[in-house]
């Protein structure tokens, strides 16, 4: 009897967005607590652990991604206003930014190209399909922008979204170690590199280090999204004509 | 009320960005243009506001959470990811390390060169 009631409740809940939204928030807050509890161990990055936990949960309950996303979209939607909100930390670092304008511009443009072509090159060398290569190209750019670029150049936007998230997680995990190895102490340099290579997830990690690193990461992310969106489709088109 | 005013303003700028992108046919996503527009407004006004500050702090302190639903999308592409796991994972890891190390090096080098040039000009 109780089992039948539970089944009825499940049927009802699985058709409303409430469940998808709630499990996203609950999973994330648990993942975040685990991360804090493990003294911010980068391997337990809360995006990584919550994505894996939700993935397992959805597979075990036989729920489709579309059903989950009916609730998940409310969280996903906030990426838009959050992108706009990056203008505020950027503005707060304005005076420092003015002094560094030219080096930042040079770094952003070369970084955007290196990010795109190194991933295409490595994937091609290792025999990935063309569609996978093209979906990988905008991987260092923030998700909403990367999906647009991917569509434009002939990749799969939803695959790009996943690769973007994975790139961000990798960047957040290796960033601090790499900067330590390279003996970089300047938060503005670290921030720019983080934002260009690991977009929003790297930026979230950078804000945990210092607000200066976070602001510069936001700057690197915003400018490289802009640069990649403008240059990459045009350049790939041009290279295609040469072949 | 502060938070509500702030988030409303952010949405207005996002909307303005989306509309401009559609009208002007610029190949840039709306939120990015909205951010640039808000940044220009702040520079022009010379100050931020408490409502904007509170909304942006609230959104940005939980930025990681906002990527979770997109990340779960990997289940849709599970077959492709399994089939091509080696090139995908090596490309992601190596390319991220290369990009990060290269941007640090380029940033330091260009800042160094330009600082020298400024000194010479003085």
Q: Are residues B3 and B55 in the same domain?
A: yes
Q: Are residues B55 and B72 in the same domain?
A: no
With beta carbons under 8 A apart, name residues in chain A contacting B51.
Answer: none
DSSP code of residue A224: H
The parent domain of residue B39 ranges over 1-61
The packing angle between helices A187-209 and A157-181, to 10°, is: 110
Query: Mean per-residue pLDDT for B33-39?
Result: 89
Nearest to A165 among B36, B39, B71 (CB): B71
Q: Are residues B31 and B72 in the same domain?
A: no
Q: Are residues B11 and B57 in the same domain?
A: yes
So what's the pLDDT on residue A116? Answer: 94
Q: Is A17 on the interface with B (CB under 8 A)?
A: no
Closest alpha carbon to A178 in A202, A199, A200, A146: A202
A172-185 residue pLDDT tens: 989 989 999 999 99
- Rounded to the nearest angstrom, the minimum Cα separation between B81 and chain A is 9
Residue pair A193/A71 in contact by the 8 Å Cβ criterion = no
Is the ipTM value over 0.90, yes or no?
A: no
Residue B119 pLDDT more than 70? no
Any idea where the domains of chain A sit in the sequence? Answer: 2-77, 83-242
Mutation for A interface: B11, B16, B73, B90, most A CBs within 10 A:
B73
Q: Are residues B53 and B73 in the same domain?
A: no
How many domains, in total, are found in chain B? 2
- Taking the C-alpha atoms of residue A54 and residue A20, their distance in angstroms, rounded to an integer, is 10
Q: Angle at CA A98, nearest 5°, toward A92 and A101?
A: 120
If you average pLDDT over each of A141-150, B30-39, B75-84, B103-112, which comes out highest?
B103-112
- Taking the C-alpha atoms of residue A17 and residue B67, their distance in angstroms, rounded to an integer, is 18
With beta carbons under 8 A apart, name residues in chain A contacting B121.
Answer: none
Q: Are residues B1 and B57 in the same domain?
A: yes
A201-222 residue pLDDT tens: 899 889 888 888 998 998 898 8
A127-175 residue pLDDT tens: 999 999 999 999 999 887 788 788 778 888 888 888 998 999 999 989 9
> Given an 8 Å threshold on Cβ–Cβ distance, is A81 in contact with B106?
no
With beta carbons under 8 A apart, name residues in chain B contacting A127.
Answer: 87
Q: Are residues B19 and B34 in the same domain?
A: yes
Tokens of A15: 């058709």
Q: Are residues B32 and B78 in the same domain?
A: no
Q: Are residues B55 and B90 in the same domain?
A: no
So what's the pLDDT on residue A89? Answer: 82
Query: Mean per-residue pLDDT for A60-73?
Result: 91
Last residue of a domain, one of B45, B61, B77: B61
46-75 in chain A: CB under 8 A from chain B? 46-47, 50-51, 54-55, 58-59, 65, 68-69, 72-73, 75
> Given an 8 Å threshold on Cβ–Cβ distance, is B65 in contact with A28?
yes
> Given an 8 Å threshold on Cβ–Cβ distance, is B103 in contact with A163?
no
Q: Are residues B74 and B104 in the same domain?
A: yes
């Amino acid at each position: 009897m109780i089992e039948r009631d539970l089944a009825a409740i499940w049927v009802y809940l699985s058709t409303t967005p409430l469940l998808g939204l709630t499990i996203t928030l609950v999973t994330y807050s648990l993942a975040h607590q685990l991360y804090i509890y493990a003294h911010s161990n980068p391997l337990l990055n809360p995006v990584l652990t919550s994505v894996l936990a939700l993935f397992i949960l959805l597979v075990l309950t036989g729920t489709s991604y579309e059903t989950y996303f009916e609730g998940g979209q409310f969280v996903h939607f906030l990426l838009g206003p959050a992108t706009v909100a990056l203008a505020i930390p950027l503005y707060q670092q304005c005076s420092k930014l003015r002094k560094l304008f030219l080096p930042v511009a040079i770094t952003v443009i070369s970084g955007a190209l290196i990010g795109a072509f190194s991933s295409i090159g490595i994937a091609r060398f290792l025999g990935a399909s063309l569609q996978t290569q093209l979906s990988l190209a905008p991987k260092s750019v923030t998700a909403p922008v990367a999906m647009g670029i991917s569509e434009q150049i002939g990749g799969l936007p939803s695959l790009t979204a996943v690769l973007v998230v994975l790139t961000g997680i990798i960047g957040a995990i290796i960033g601090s170690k790499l900067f330590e190895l390279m003996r970089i102490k300047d938060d503005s340099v670290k921030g720019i590199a983080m934002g260009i290579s690991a977009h929003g997830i790297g930026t979230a990690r950078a804000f945990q280090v210092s607000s200066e690193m976070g602001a510069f990461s936001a700057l690197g992310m915003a400018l490289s999204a802009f640069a990649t969106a403008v240059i990459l489709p045009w350049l790939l088109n041009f290279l295609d004509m040469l072949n | 009320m502060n938070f509500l005013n702030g988030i409303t303003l952010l949405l207005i700028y996002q909307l303005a960005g989306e509309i401009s992108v559609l009208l002007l046919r610029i190949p840039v996503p709306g939120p990015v243009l909205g951010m640039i527009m808000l940044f220009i407004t702040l520079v022009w006004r010379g100050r931020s506001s408490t409502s904007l500050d509170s909304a942006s702090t609230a959104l940005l302190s939980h930025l990681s959470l906002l990527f979770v639903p997109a990340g779960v999308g990997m289940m849709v592409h599970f077959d492709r990811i399994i089939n091509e796991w080696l090139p995908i994972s090596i490309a992601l890891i190596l390319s991220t390390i290369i990009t990060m190390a290269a941007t640090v090096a380029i940033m330091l080098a260009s800042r160094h060169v330009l600082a020298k040039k400024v000194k010479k000009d003085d």
